[in-house]
Amino acid sequence: MKNKIAILFYTKSSRALKNGLLPIYLRITIDGVRIEISTSKYVENSKWSVAAGKIKGNSEEARTINSYLDILRNKVYETEKSMINNNQEIFADSFKNKFMGVEEKKRMLIPIFQDHNKRMEALIDKEYASSTSKRYETTLKHVEDFIKHSYLCS
């Protein structure tokens, strides 16, 4: 499946600092869904080129910030390439997590069920009867047996 990814750098005048500097944002659009990320860089409105998505001129500040924006652009392409190489589907949320370095927590049925039962045991005689806890333990055993039978013995 081919995803269309577009990258845009822009300034937000609504978030201007008191000294008049505008923050630079990175917008990544994946199949029409937008992701907006602050670059933590600021620029004067007069120095920003909307068409190029960069700072105008050849000053040291312009070269430094433009170089940083190019690095971010390359990081977007590297993230896309990494997800494609790992056969991951590219959605806005998963892409943003990968780009920002946020690990997705994987949750499995049996550990969730075991955690639930531990919490239930702590509430025996406060909110639940001991027979309720025994029923949940029995249900967990049946679920484990079903999974073993369905997926390991087939």
Q: Does the pLDDT value for residue 70 go beyond 60?
A: yes
pLDDT (tens digit, 9 = 90+) per residue, 76-133?
999 999 999 998 889 998 899 999 988 767 778 899 999 999 999 998 888 889 999 9
Q: How far apart are CA 91 and CA 80, in angstroms?
A: 10
pLDDT (tens digit, 9 = 90+) per residue, 4-49?
899 999 999 999 999 999 999 999 999 999 999 999 999 999 999 9
Q: Are 9 and 68 in contact (CB under 8 A)?
A: no
Q: Are 39 and 62 in contact (CB under 8 A)?
A: no
Q: Which residue has the higher pLDDT, 126 or 154?
A: 126
Question: Which two structure tokens, joined as six digits, stand for 39?
Answer: 């670059």
Q: How far apart are CA 46 and CA 68, in angstroms?
A: 19
